[in-house]
Structure 1
Amino acid sequence: MRLFFIMFFTSFTLIVFSQKKYIVKMTNSENLPKFIDLKEKPTYVGDDSKELLFFSKHENFKMYRAYPSSKRENVLQFILIDTEDSNFINELFKEFPERYISFEDVTNTWGAQLLDDSSNSNMENSLLNYMEKPVTPNQILANNYPNITPFYPNDYLTVPVATPLDYNTYDLNDLKYVNAPIAWGINPNGGSSHVNIGLSDGKVMANDTELDGKVFFPPSGDPYSNLAISACNIVSTHGTSTAATIAAKGNNSYGVTGVCYNCELTAGDYNYDALLELAQTGVDVINMSWAQTMPTDPKSYIETLLGESQNNTIQEVVEDYNVILVASAGNNMYFDTNSPVDDAELIVQYSYPASFENVISVSSVHHWYDINNHPNSPYTTCYQNQQILNLIEDSVGGAIRVDTSPPSQLTYGCGNGQTGLPTQRKTHVFNEYVDILAPAREVLNYVRLKYGFCPGITTKYSSGTSHAAPMVSGTIGLMLSVDDCLNSDEVQDILKLSSKPVEHLSFNSKYIGLMGAGALQTGNAVAFVNEMNKINGTVIIKNQSFYRYDLSAQRIKNELIIEGVEFIGNNKAKFRSGNEIYLLEGTLLEPSTNEGFTLLEVGLIENTICNTSNKSLNSLQKNKNETGLKLENIKIFPTLFDDNLNIVFDENNNEDVINNVKIYDVYGKLVFEKDKLITNQITLFVGSIESGIYILKVYDVKDNVLHTEKIVKK
């Protein structure tokens, strides 16, 4: 709670006012009173005499829109009131009941908490000698496309340069775990610069070597431009680390490799209104590595004013701006201390915005050591001499007990290893709204690598679901680089269908139904999209079990292979391919409820025409048109073409402004160029390029971009 101190020296009395913050829902967004000088004493300037009389009696308050960037009535009708007068809000509602519906005190709940669990609590006895134990968790190989040749950028380490987690060196084992080199094998450029990923986060060092030239800001500017980077200030470092995970430059013989290392970024603040501002710049994806965590489930939270207003904002971003939202699931969830120590129950928590509908919620999975090939001996815990191992690949909680058969989850801590008594154990957030898992335990922290540590921290690695979300956002950037017509539902389904199953493992049994579809497989996801769009492609769904999702893949141009997959329970699945669907060994299509079904269809898949007008805004802003021409005066037709393309600038204007035309494929590679045109209209023969999706750009004589548009070759 913020305290405001006012000293009246005439009486030498100290009066303390406690400022409160309320969220208020109005009957109509136009009911917001009009004030000036809001930063100091508000002065009413409206034309309502009743309001004038009311507000003239009150001081030390502010009334303003909660989400000023919104264009939706069901978002704009929410306002915030800051006041030091405990009677102000009640008197307002009493005086104007027809204008205000309800209010909530959000003094201690407004805003967001950046996520960063930088402790190294999983590293006890990490240098003990390895002692092999006969345990077999039946882990599954994850690469569905072994025929794709991986690509290794020259700043990606194919093998560890030293002992994993050696603090003097580093490696990128997280990228290996998700098979990122397979995705880069499909697109060695590391994605397309036409894909722009929004970053709702703390400060981003846009001039950093790994980010220079690829970070942009909304029209309001950089919200943290004056904040110096400090290893001990999370807001000053968190954004740079997240940005590097998504899109640090790749194949540049320096630093680290971003997942979508050719994608661009637009960096904004970390709050709900900032999401709207980012969406309005035309970003394709927004990464949100921040959260508010609570025991309240989404259905109940949306019944509160704060939850309703935040949810309405999220839906506006997705529905009105076609943006894909990705959020960290959260870091703080505990086992119940009232449960038996050996079998404690989880106290399920929910984080927002991650748990809202239409947000891809990302929690964590370990990625370091095979349980049967662990470099360290199991160490003995302080409780009943039980033996555990840390950082076990595919596990989703903390340490794993290996003195049980099969291995199981450790559900307690040990009082710093000294008291011999069990204590409450913390894990990351898992719940039924989690969609996918990604590496988030002991992941290389680029800021620590580049800018150093806060006192007391001696490792380049850190933990937290803030690491997991950007790995998924970068993966989506690679997917959109192959097919920019993918919508949010398609992206979510492909991420799940291409994931690595981990729920069946014995040590994850505590989290069944709470860990999403599986572990992120960047290679599989990008290959899925690539094969889906090829005339002779083969999409593979393999070794999974789906029992509670609504999954769909309706645009597979050639064939689909389903092998070793169970579609059971109340799972709904709809697949359509243009040629064949093969059901191979181990596939089970047996929904066990009236709600579940699996629908397989074979038939013509028409070329997709999607509206990407909003997605071109960033490109147009970054290449600002200095001629002052109205972009809508340039027409490209037909956008679905055979051999000829027509480009016309304002048929009623004879000014020759078109100088150069370039066509790029979805990987950002230039496939056609025609320059020195000096005309206002032209017909281009482009029959030489192959069928597919392309980006066309029109330039003037000063090399300014006049127009950007997606085109499709039949």
Structure 2
Amino acid sequence: MRIFTPLLLMTLCTLSFAGYAQEEDTPHDYYVRLTSNSYRPAVGSGPKGEVKFSFPKHPELTQVFAQFGVQAFDFTFRNAVVEGLKRTYLMDVKTRNPELVKVLEGAYGHIFEFVHEMRDFEPHYAPNDYNIQPFNTSWHLDLVGAPAAWDITTGDPSIFLAIAEGRKTGFNFTHPEVANKIVGNVSYYGTEPPHFHGTAVAGTAAGDTDNGLGLSSIGFNCRMYTLYGYNPVVQLDSLLNMGIRVFNMSFGNTSGELVEEEAMEDAYLRGAILIASAGNDPTALRSYPAAYDHVISVTSVGDQMNHDKVIGDPSTAHWHGSSVDLVAPGHDVVVPINSQSYAYGNGSSYAAPMVAGLVGLMLSVNPCLSPDDVELILKATALPVDNLPINAAYTGQLGAGLIQADAAVQMAQSYASALPTIPKLNPSFHHYITCDDDLDLNLHVSGTRNPLSTHHQWNLYEQSNTNQSIDQMAWWQVSPNGYNRDTLVFSTVLQPNTHYMVKRGVWDGCTPWFERRQYNIQAPSCFVQFGYALDAEPDANGCVTEYKVSGENLDLVDRVSFILVGATTRSYTDFSLPFRQPIAPYQDTQITATLHFHNGKTYTLTENIPTCDPLIPWRSAVEETLVSTAELSLYPNPVMGEEVQLQHPASAHLAELYSLTGQKLMEQPLRASGTTPLRVADLEKGVYLVRILEKEGGGSTLKLVIE
């Protein structure tokens, strides 16, 4: 395995920057596929706030990224179903440098499966005859039977078309043909100045129709999202996640790319209907993305269904070949441009959105059509045009023929498609329970997103009766909104320690209803969750002298009522934090605290007060080597008479006699002789403790039994 040392790194960087001219300061992207996602770099910030990528296990690779100016390493295909895309990233660098590819694929080939340069795309248009009046604005709609299709449907506003454009083109969002029809834009790398191409394509697909000005559009009431990016082919994911299914791509490149091909396959598997312009150069090779599998490739015809713009002049034709699927009007089509004006446009760029708009009408009458269903219907209802004398040179190169909107919509309306298996709806969800300020238990649920689903329902049941729901949350949403709520909360307040069951169902209006159930959902009361308790506060001798109320959110408590049980029963109330209650050691045996909350709820805590044993420090003192056991004793022990003799060292000066409850009963100064009598005639039978104290401090304890 080759090792790329820092010295080699410096050499390569010096040569590469000196040997290659620096291009415009725009992001130059690469497709990067890792051999494993475990190699994905960590992202941080440099000393000047710049993005910094690091590879902890490969510090020299961290230097490579820094010196080659890597600015971004984006995981674009998060929701991909194609396996390779799950390990593919988009890498941005400040300046293009072929040496970077050589280094990553060479010295670090075990990490980087490949690094491919992302290509730019050219729009497929050939504009001419700007602002020529008068316009024949409707011939292209008449040619494909749009008015008859509108008798069936004028399009559903809930059906969205995505108009994708490359970075060299853009949109004029203020043009009256699109201002009210484009409802959102997804932009990568900023926004270019308004460009007529994107405006023209959008206006052709689903421009504002029946509004008393401008022109009509085949998509009529369907609405649009726009996508602007350096390479929109691999940037469809955000719109796919919104549930948008129809994508128009009026641009192309004459060579294919593996990542782009996989991105098209991935979108198709996730339910996308992909439409692209076939290209304008009749002498070129195939154009991509139109030539990829699962992409409907569309080329142009004129008002006589002529493929040549100038009949008989093949140089005026647009691309044709075996990869073409359909044709649509693309010669001298009236399109909206900038400055709220119109022009004749030429290019397969305008043929493709005619198909996209028609697909919008088809989904309006049958939203359950799969991508394969749509392509089958379009081709089955198309009018062959390669058998016309004016197209004799293009036999077998114009696909199934000219789209027929009325026939396609009619067939879509009655078409019983096979239920698609992809994308599958996922009814899984998570839940958690919280306490609010009223100390009520609230159940939160969070479900997996399903962009294509239109119905979402959550049902709450008591587990003892799952035949009758006690709460329900339901949404009927239409793409591109889908299920876009992170968390939902049932309005029903849960009862503590009660078992519940939640059922979540999702539906897209086409596939069967999917549901998931989760049982044994329960939680203790908020009082328990907040941890309310009585904490004992002991003194230095270990005797409890006070209790304090503890727990979370004590600010919700207005007051605490205490009851002490012992020799007598007493009541107290504390109105302010911290809630404390002193007790009488050796006397009180039980404490009860009732918490009164601001909303009127109460919670009661009860604790038995432990017996206070003041002799604990005495017992520990026995271990303090004060006197030997030979010098310290009681006799007789047990004693039945009135007096007991205490033998002690001369250094001891005082004896104290205690009951086992800690009550001191007597004390007796000790004689210097070492033997002192203790009178016990007035004591009852039982066990007592005698503590002998030293003059220098400390002491020892003996047990005395009186019979």
Compute the TM-score of the two structures, normalised by the length of structure 1: 0.53
Residue 426 to residue 35, structure 1, CA distance change in 2 (3 Å): farther
TM-aligned CA deviation for residue 217 of structure 1: 2.7
Q: Deviations over 1:37-59 (max 9, x none)?
A: 59997634332145457538834
**Is 1:274 equivalent to 2:235 in the alignment?**
yes
Q: 2:334 aligns with which of 403, 426, 444?
A: 444
Q: 1:192 aligns with which of 135, 156, 167?
A: 156
**Is 1:326 equivalent to 2:229 in the alignment?**
no
Residue 93 to residue 311, structure 1, CA distance change in 2 (3 Å): closer
TM-aligned CA deviation for residue 66 of structure 1: 7.7
Q: Is the 8 A contact 2:320 2:398 kept in 1?
A: yes
Aligned partners of 2:269, 2:472: CA distance in 1, in Å?
39
Q: Is the 8 A contact 1:363 1:434 kept in 2?
A: yes
Find the structure with the greater CA-based Rg.
2
Tell me the amino acid that sits aligned with residue 180 of structure 1: A
Q: Deviations over 1:171-214 (max 9, x none)?
A: 21100100101101112xx1112211111124344454333444
Aligned to 1:178: 144
Report the aligned-residue RMSD: 4.4
Tell me the amino acid that sits aligned with residue 58 of structure 1: Q
Residue 212 to residue 519, structure 1, CA distance change in 2 (3 Å): same
Aligned partners of 1:32, 1:463: CA distance in 2, in Å?
45
Q: How many residues align?
A: 438
Aligned to 2:265: 315
Aligned to 2:319: 429
Q: Is the 8 A contact 1:249 1:261 kept in 2?
A: yes
Aligned to 2:245: 284
Tell me the amino acid that sits aligned with residue 220 of structure 2: Y
Q: Deviations over 1:425-462 (max 9, x none)?
A: 353111111100000000001126x6248xxxxxx211
Aligned partners of 2:458, 2:103: CA distance in 1, in Å?
62
Aligned partners of 2:129, 2:406: CA distance in 1, in Å?
29
Aligned partners of 1:91, 1:662: CA distance in 2, in Å?
52
Partner-residue secondary structure (3-state), 1:445: strand
Aligned to 2:638: none
Tell me the amino acid that sits aligned with residue 366 of structure 1: G
Aligned to 1:574: none
Q: Is the 8 A contact 2:368 2:509 kept in 1?
A: no
Aligned to 2:346: 463
Aligned to 2:497: none
Residue 501 to residue 76, structure 1, CA distance change in 2 (3 Å): same
Q: Is the 8 A contact 2:177 2:208 kept in 1?
A: yes
**Is 1:71 equivalent to 2:80 in the alignment?**
yes
Residue 15 to residue 75, structure 1, CA distance change in 2 (3 Å): closer
Aligned to 1:118: 127
Residue 520 to residue 58, structure 1, CA distance change in 2 (3 Å): same
Partner-residue secondary structure (3-state), 2:398: coil
Aligned partners of 1:46, 1:289: CA distance in 2, in Å?
39
Q: Is the 8 A contact 1:69 1:277 kept in 2?
A: no
Tell me the amino acid that sits aligned with residue 209 of structure 1: P
Alignment of 1:8-157 (within 5 A): 17-18=21-22, 23-36=31-44, 43-51=52-60, 55=64, 58-62=67-71, 64-65=73-74, 67-68=76-77, 71-72=80-81, 73-79=83-89, 80=91, 82=93, 87-104=99-116, 106=117, 110-119=119-128
TM-aligned CA deviation for residue 283 of structure 1: 0.5
Q: Is the 8 A contact 1:330 1:465 kept in 2?
A: yes
Aligned partners of 2:444, 2:36: CA distance in 1, in Å?
38
Q: Is the 8 A contact 2:363 2:369 kept in 1?
A: yes
Q: Deviations over 1:518-560 (max 9, x none)?
A: 1111111112222x35xxxxxxxxxxxxxxxxxxxx75xxxxx
TM-aligned CA deviation for residue 241 of structure 1: 1.8
Residue 59 to residue 399, structure 1, CA distance change in 2 (3 Å): closer
Aligned to 1:702: none
Residue 53 to residue 326, structure 1, CA distance change in 2 (3 Å): closer
Q: Deviations over 1:16-74 (max 9, x none)?
A: 74368654443224323334459997634332145457538834345624845553541
TM-aligned CA deviation for residue 102 of structure 1: 3.8
Q: 1:217 aligns with which of 184, 191, 194?
A: 184
Tell me the amino acid that sits aligned with residue 161 of structure 2: I
**Is 1:507 equivalent to 2:519 in the alignment?**
no
Aligned to 2:288: 352
Residue 209 to residue 490, structure 1, CA distance change in 2 (3 Å): same
TM-aligned CA deviation for residue 255 of structure 1: 2.1
Residue 331 to residue 629, structure 1, CA distance change in 2 (3 Å): farther
Aligned partners of 1:288, 1:261: CA distance in 2, in Å?
19
TM-aligned CA deviation for residue 501 of structure 1: 1.4
Aligned to 1:337: none
Q: Is the 8 A contact 1:631 1:707 kept in 2?
A: no
Aligned partners of 1:286, 1:250: CA distance in 2, in Å?
20
Tell me the amino acid that sits aligned with residue 241 of structure 2: Q
Q: 1:710 aligns with which of 501, 506, 509?
A: 509
Aligned partners of 1:487, 1:472: CA distance in 2, in Å?
16
Aligned partners of 2:106, 2:129: CA distance in 1, in Å?
54
Q: Is the 8 A contact 2:368 2:510 kept in 1?
A: no
Tell me the amino acid that sits aligned with residue 274 of structure 2: L
Aligned partners of 1:396, 1:170: CA distance in 2, in Å?
19
Aligned partners of 1:101, 1:176: CA distance in 2, in Å?
51
Partner-residue secondary structure (3-state), 2:386: coil
Q: Is the 8 A contact 1:287 1:327 kept in 2?
A: yes
Partner-residue secondary structure (3-state), 1:352: coil
Aligned partners of 1:48, 1:483: CA distance in 2, in Å?
53
Q: 1:361 aligns with which of 256, 280, 297?
A: 297
Q: Is the 8 A contact 1:366 1:440 kept in 2?
A: yes
**Is 1:410 equivalent to 2:313 in the alignment?**
yes
Q: Deviations over 1:614-669 (max 9, x none)?
A: 89xxxxxxxxxxx99858699xxxx99xxxxx9764346856877xx9999x9xxx
Aligned to 1:521: 404
**Is 1:473 equivalent to 2:356 in the alignment?**
yes
Aligned to 1:249: 208
Aligned partners of 2:254, 2:375: CA distance in 1, in Å?
23
Residue 612 to residue 253, structure 1, CA distance change in 2 (3 Å): farther
Aligned partners of 2:310, 2:422: CA distance in 1, in Å?
47
Q: 2:460 aligns with which of 640, 644, 650?
A: 650
Aligned partners of 1:498, 1:410: CA distance in 2, in Å?
29
Residue 471 to residue 630, structure 1, CA distance change in 2 (3 Å): farther
Aligned to 1:624: none
Tell me the amino acid that sits aligned with residue 64 of structure 2: F
Aligned partners of 1:710, 1:292: CA distance in 2, in Å?
37
Tell me the amino acid that sits aligned with residue 31 of structure 1: Y
Residue 228 to residue 88, structure 1, CA distance change in 2 (3 Å): closer
Gaps of 5+ in 1: 1-12, 122-164, 230-235, 295-300, 302-306, 335-347, 368-392, 401-408, 412-424, 454-459, 534-553, 556-605, 616-626, 641-645, 667-678, 682-705
Tell me the amino acid that sits aligned with residue 523 of structure 1: D
Partner-residue secondary structure (3-state), 1:268: strand
Alignment of 1:475-624 (within 5 A): 475-530=358-413, 532-533=414-415
Residue 250 to residue 93, structure 1, CA distance change in 2 (3 Å): closer
Q: Deviations over 1:78-122 (max 9, x none)?
A: 444646665443333443232223445x3xx6121122210359x
Q: Is the 8 A contact 1:435 1:517 kept in 2?
A: yes
Alignment of 1:650-669 (within 5 A): 650-651=460-461
TM-aligned CA deviation for residue 292 of structure 1: 1.0
Aligned partners of 2:443, 2:252: CA distance in 1, in Å?
42
Q: Identity of counterpart residues, as a percentage?
A: 22
Gaps of 5+ in 2: 1-16, 427-441, 463-468, 480-489, 493-504, 513-707
